[in-house]
Amino acid sequence: MTAPTRTTGTAFAGNTSAGTPGSSAELIRAEEPVLARNYHPLPVVIARAEDVWVEDVEGRRYLDMLAGYSALNFGHRHPALVEAAHRQLDQLTLTSRAFHHDRLAGFAAGLAELTGLDMVLPMNTGAEAVESGIKVARKWAYDVKGVPADRATIVVAADNFHGRTTTIVGFSDDETARTGFGPFTPGFRVVPYNDLAALEAAVDETTAAVLIEPIQGEAGVIIPDDGYLTGVRELTRRHGCLFIADEIQSGLGRTGSTLAVDHEAVVPDVVLLGKALGGGIVPVSAVVARREVLGVLHPGEHGSTFGGNPLAAAVGSAVVELLATGEFQRRATELGEVLRAGLAALVGEGVTGFRVRGLWAGVDIDPALGTGREISERLLDEGILVKDTHGSTIRLAPPLTITREVLESALKSLGKVLG
């Protein structure tokens, strides 16, 4: 299998003077007094990137095995996406939605066709798409289902991750994410993930929607049993409530299909997209849904200054075109088998378990060998960028443009740091 056509040169002109102003150490120190400490990044300062490779300010090269939590599914600066952005920068970048612009209809039509749904509500970040999906579901419950005013409920799964707004962290069970940020929005019921009986018990006549990740990414790439998504579809249909699939991390090629729900040939009422929709260039998210659902919104009821802006629409359209070829989904499927085989060989050699779907893996490391953070730091020393999720679990999600050889070399490096 060959990589999609692109320039693969990695000859960046790096700053090689470690310790001088502008060195990695200096830049990390310079952040401390002026930057909110809501992240704990690995100690690497990236200055340039191309495809699967990034380079720090000293000119050291790293393989990106995180891909911006799947925002970089097409690699860094994919030529078709950069070209689309450049072309649009020379024409028109922002109008607000007070006016029409010439890129929006094409973007919405392409995305609706790609997902098999009807209408698009363009937003910017993933959390905004989730918030928008929640608002739309509530409005649908009142206007279409006939739930009494302010009584709508939404059923979500334990261990979910849907973003960081106050409403969203209010129904998270991650204490670090929620403690200190209350009071929270009412109207959410939490049930165990991958448990149809618990879901059935939680759904009643007030239920507007069931909101789940088809695969729980931040929880450690947790893949539900075969039949779970089909069961959620059947149950929500039977109870007359919406099925909202948060595909912000799992969607757009990552799992070997356009959407993760495609693995069970399930069509939700609402799909939330983000991350890779912006091609790693601009923040682009969207609520994509059936006409009956998004049709509940009227002028003035929801909006965003930047949502669906011309630059976002141009890049988003180029992303849709890349996915329409099927090439990235195919690569994720084929290379996912390489990933699976490589991880299977490490079980008992430092890996205690793993889950793979497409080019996406949660890898449980023997806690005796270190925390996920420590393993990530050791991989950084080997020139590999990954991120821990919880405890001793790390997540592997390289750009879908990675070659088999490079993937195998990354798995070898993992074996080395565990050995």
Residues contributing to the site for ligand PLP (CB under 6 A):
69, 125-127, 130, 161-163, 213, 217-218, 246, 248-249, 274
Between 75 and 126, CB nearer to ligand PLP: 126
Shortest CA distance to 274 belongs to which of 46, 1, 3, 70?
Answer: 70
Amino acid (1-letter code) at residue 286: A
**Of the candidates 95, 133, 154, which has an alpha carbon nearest to the alpha carbon of residue 311?**
95
Residue type for 390, please?
Answer: H
Closest alpha carbon to 46 in 29, 31, 59, 32? 59
Of 50 and 159, the one with the shorter C-beta distance to ligand PLP is 159
Catalytic-labelled residue, pool 64, 145, 159, 161: 161
Shortest distance in whole angstroms from residue 127 CB to ligand PLP: 3
- Which of 234, 197, 190, 240 is CA-nearest to residue 212? 190
174 is catalytic: no
Whether residue 401 contacts residue 79, with contact meaning beta carbons closer than 8 Å, is answered with: no
- CB of 44 or CB of 169, closer to ligand PLP: 169
**Shortest distance in whole angstroms from residue 68 CB to ligand PLP:** 10
Contact between 8 and 403 (Cβ < 8 Å):
no
User: Could you tell me the smallest distance in angstroms from the CB atom of residue 295 to ligand PLP?
Assistant: 24
Alpha helices, DSSP H, located in 41-170: 67-70, 79-89, 104-115, 126-140, 166-170
Type of residue found at 105: A
Q: Walk across the sheet containing 393-396 and list its strands.
A: 351-356, 361-365, 393-396, 387-388
Active site residue 188: no
Specify the residue, 50 or 246, whose C-beta has the smaller distance to ligand PLP.
Answer: 246
* Residue whose beta carbon is closest to ligand PLP: 126
- Shorter beta-carbon distance to ligand PLP: residue 66 or 203: 66
Q: Judge whether 246 counts as a catalytic residue.
A: yes
Answer whether the bond into residue 183 is a cis peptide, omega within 30°. Answer: yes
CA distance 402 to 221: 20
Q: Which of 64, 246, 269, 388 is catalytic?
A: 246
Rounded to the nearest whole angstrom, what is the least distance from the CB of residue 251 to ligand PLP in the complex?
Answer: 9
For ligand PLP, the closer CB: 351 or 396: 396
Least gap, CB of 361 to ligand PLP (angstroms) = 15
Q: Which residues are catalytic?
A: 161, 246, 275
